[in-house]
C-alpha cells in the first residue's frame, strides 16, 4: 500500500515572515507645540501638508524610518529626537501622541481611556509600536489626552 506523505525537507520553504524581517516603517511626526504655535488644529485634515509648507525644524516635523519592533518613543530617541516622557511604562500619559494615520499598537495602557484610544486616536508612544508601513503622529500631545488642548505640558 502506497502512503503519500507530506513534503518535508530542504526543498520546502517555510513561511519565515516575522516582524524582524519586515522592512522599517516610515513615521512622519509633528510637534503639538508647533500645531498650537501656528494656530492649527490636530483635527485639520491637511495638517501635515501645512507643516511641510511651513518648513519647520527637524525637531518639530520630519519623517524617519523606524524599527517595527521598537516603541515610537525609543525610535524617536534613536533618531536624536526629544519627545516628552516620564514613566516610560504606559501609566502617566506624558508621552501621548495623536495618531493621524496608520496603525500603532500599544503593548499595554494604564493611562488612556477606551474612548481616547478608539475615538480620539491617542497613543502612548512609550509602549506603542508601528503596525502599518506608514504612520503620522502629533507628539507632545498630552494636553489633548486631558481634554485641554493648547495648555502646554
Ligand atoms: S511616558 Fe508615561 S505613559 Fe508613556
Ligand 1 pocket mutation pick from 72, 75, 84, 95 by most atoms within 8 angstroms of CB: 95
Q: Is the pLDDT of residue 52 over 80?
A: yes
What residues have CB less than 8 Å from 145, skipping those under 6 apart? Answer: 93, 96, 111, 112, 116, 122
CATH topology of domain 23-145: Ubiquitin-like (UB roll) (3.10.20)
Give residue-wise pLDDT tens across range 64-80: 999 999 999 999 999 99
Query: 104 with 139: CB under 8 angstroms?
Result: no
- How far is Cα 133 from Cα 79, in angstroms, rounded to an integer? 18
Q: Supply 119's cell numbers.
A: 475615538
In this prediction, residue 22 has a pLDDT band, given cuts at 50, 70 and 90, of confident
Count CB neighbours of 63 within 10 A.
15
CB distance 85 to ligand 1 below 6 Å: yes
Pick 147 or 92 by higher pLDDT. Answer: 92
Given strand 122-124, what is the order of strands in its sheet? 61-66, 25-31, 134-139, 96-101, 122-124
Query: 129 with 70: CB under 8 angstroms?
Result: yes
CB distance 91 to ligand 1 below 6 Å: yes
Q: Please give the pLDDT value at position 74.
A: 98
Q: Which residues of 41-57 are buried (b: 16+ CB within 10 A; e: fewer)?
A: ebeeeebbebbeeeebe
Q: How far apart are the first and last CA of the chain?
A: 76
Amino acid at each position: 500500500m502506497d502512503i503519500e506523505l507530506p513534503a518535508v525537507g530542504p526543498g520546502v520553504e517555510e513561511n519565515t515572515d516575522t516582524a524582524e524581517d519586515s522592512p522599517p516603517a516610515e513615521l512622519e511626526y509633528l510637534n503639538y507645540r508647533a500645531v498650537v504655535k501656528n494656530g492649527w488644529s490636530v483635527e485639520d485634515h491637511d495638517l501635515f501638508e501645512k507643516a511641510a509648507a511651513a518648513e519647520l525644524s527637524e525637531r518639530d516635523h520630519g519623517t524617519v524610518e523606524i524599527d517595527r519592533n521598537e516603541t515610537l518613543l525609543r525610535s524617536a530617541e534613536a533618531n536624536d529626537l526629544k519627545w516628552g516622557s516620564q514613566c516610560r511604562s504606559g501609566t502617566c500619559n506624558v508621552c501621548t501622541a495623536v495618531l493621524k494615520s496608520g496603525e500603532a499598537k500599544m503593548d499595554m495602557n494604564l493611562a488612556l481611556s477606551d474612548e481616547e484610544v478608539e475615538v480620539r486616536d491617542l497613543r502612548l508612544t512609550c509602549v506603542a509600536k508601528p503596525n502599518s508601513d506608514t504612520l503620522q503622529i502629533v507628539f507632545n500631545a498630552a494636553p489633548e489626552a486631558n481634554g485641554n488642548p493648547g495648555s502646554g505640558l
